[in-house]
Structure 1
């Protein structure tokens, strides 16, 4: 087993203790996390053309994310600008899985063109159907092309409001999503994975300190920690 896989699998069990499901149990009810509900009417943050233009003019970043990004995006934009001078345009939508996020990436690529750096903060809502995730990562990388850097925040979900079995399924499916992302990084040298799951797994107390419901960041502690990981990755490359 590679070091990356070992770390991801370790991260995948830290939140759920010693309980483990057999493969038969895991797939008796889909993938165990339930079904993704309607998301199209949920909150969103989408930059206007006025906000997009300076990003293209200065070669800033485009960001595509889910509810964590809706919550944390404004704080991230301020932190990034203060550290690097980069501006960011966002297409963040609560509850959205990766496939329609990549659709949005494709739409902006066709409508506006793309800057040299893309930030993908999506994957948490793919725990409901984990096998579809890898193809969407490859599609995003194809749209971005080999010359652009794509930063992708990996996933940590274990919804504390759900039963123990569902929390376990969430965690297992998060690890599944993250393994697909790690595999994609080997295929795409310009893909930079931001290892949020491993950061949380490094100290068990972080799961409650940095996440308010097993998914979304606490503010400001979790929000600052996740955004700092993102900014550090951008600074390093």
Structure 2
């Protein structure tokens, strides 16, 4: 088990964003310096074990930093599937795809890739689609990409920012949906739709409009990912 489990460290950190400014085109503010925030990155030994034992590579942001260890445990206990992670709080999708590309070149890829990223792209939504396309080129047509969609509306922010967050989340999700039409090997984990299906879930499963509550929200989101992974 020690060899199979992902090496997950660090604590969850709220997605980094500065208050909106005159230069803020999309209403959610500006992305802060995510490189100084907490991260969870598996060791080389775990990565190669996962690659060689039909496991899953995961690339995510602070929600994944918080929830990754519980996901690894759930995957292993449910289906014997191991997980290697490259999760970094506050990180947008482009550097997450850089990490994917690095692992592809250095280690090679397993047949399933989990992308739990997009939350921090609300600050600049138009750049997101190109990174989904880039992911699919790196992975190729013989592997499956499982992408978790987004739901952000930061409750500590002003009402106008919360509205912008929601609008930009929907913009990110529409780009994932468009990619799903282009790529037969792309699967969507519909976290946003799951939350919207029952209004009470927004407060029960999210603690500040972004990160999952523990254990309820964490369990719900991780279960959706496990179902998507084991279906492939």
Specify if TM > 0.5: yes
Question: Does residue 196 in structure 1 map to residue 191 in structure 2?
Answer: yes
Q: Is the 8 A contact 2:24 2:30 kept in 1?
A: no
> Which residue pairs with 2:96 in the alignment?
101
Q: Over aligned residues, Cα RMSD in angstroms?
A: 1.0
Question: Does residue 219 in structure 1 map to residue 214 in structure 2?
Answer: yes
Question: Does residue 135 in structure 1 map to residue 130 in structure 2?
Answer: yes
Q: Give the whole-Å Cα distance in 2 for the aligned partners of 1:103 and 1:184.
A: 19
> Which residue pairs with 1:170 in the alignment?
165
Question: Does residue 46 in structure 1 map to residue 38 in structure 2?
Answer: no
Query: What TM-score, normalized to structure 2?
Result: 0.90
Q: Give the whole-Å Cα distance in 2 for the aligned partners of 1:95 and 1:233.
A: 25
Query: What is the number of equivalent residue pairs in this alignment?
Result: 211
Q: Give the whole-Å Cα distance in 1 for the aligned partners of 2:163 and 2:60.
A: 24
Question: Does residue 110 in structure 1 map to residue 110 in structure 2?
Answer: no
TM superposition shift of 1:52: 1.1
TM superposition shift of 1:28: 7.8
> Which residue pairs with 2:29 in the alignment?
34
* Alignment match of 1:210 (pick from 183, 205, 224): 205
More relative contact order, 1 or 2 (CA 8 Å, 6+ apart): 1
> Which residue pairs with 1:148 in the alignment?
143
Instruction: Point out 4+ residue stretches in structure 1 off by more than 2 angstroms.
Output: none
Q: Is the 8 A contact 2:37 2:90 kept in 1?
A: yes
Structure 2: tracts of 5 or more residues without a match: 1-21
* Cα deviations by residue, 1:212-234 (Å, 9 ceiling, x for unpaired): 01000000000000000000111
Structure 1: tracts of 5 or more residues without a match: 1-26
* Alignment match of 2:182 (pick from 181, 187, 191): 187
Query: What TM-score, normalized to structure 1?
Result: 0.88
> Which residue pairs with 1:9 in the alignment?
none
Q: Give the whole-Å Cα distance in 2 for the aligned partners of 1:85 and 1:28.
A: 48
* Alignment match of 1:88 (pick from 83, 91, 100): 83
